[in-house]
Amino acid sequence: MWIRTASERDLQEIRTLLINAWHDTYDSIYGADKVSEINEDWHSLNALKPKLTQPDSEFILADAGEGISGMAFASTRDGKVVDLHQLYVLPQSQGQGVGTLLLEELESCFAEARRIRLEVEETNAKALAFYEKAGFHEVGRTDDCGAAGSGLPALVLEKTIP
């Protein structure tokens, strides 16, 4: 498996990965209908494509040679703090180090950054365990995870980048 930059030809496969990961993780939390609604909005091809060329960002994939097993997207506004917007791994590939590889790559992509920050649903036990093991700790909360006005509460976690 290797980590590589996402390209336009990957967008449909990324969308499929996100849909599968979101239903697997969030159907029991938000309900399948709400997850489908979020997928249509946040994970449409029109929503994903601008991320490929967004300044001061990285859009990377874990490629197993037979398809994408994970994806991550992060950006920075000031060069010092990286916002991890997305890190998702196919359900059948979770627990195999894919997320760790993606996170390590992102940490090395932003040379001036000193911290990395993310939002996570507080009942998402698998994600919380993953991020805590990676050295993240809670620094706050938000009522609008993922997008302004989303109404989705979440914890804000942060980690110092060595």
The per-residue pLDDT for range 60-91, each reduced to its tens digit, is: 999 988 899 999 999 998 889 999 999 999 99
Tell me if 25 sits within 8 A of 120, measured CB to CB: no
| Pairwise pLDDT comparison (146 vs 89), residue with the higher score | 89
Taking the whole predicted model, whether its pTM rises above 0.85 is answered as yes
CA distances from 123 to 34, 54, 126, 148 (A): 16, 30, 9, 20
39 pLDDT band, cuts 50/70/90, is very high
pLDDT surpasses 90 at 93: yes
CATH number of 2-113: 3.40.630.30
- Check residue 149 and give its pLDDT: 77
Average pLDDT over residues 134-145: 91
150 pLDDT band, cuts 50/70/90, is confident
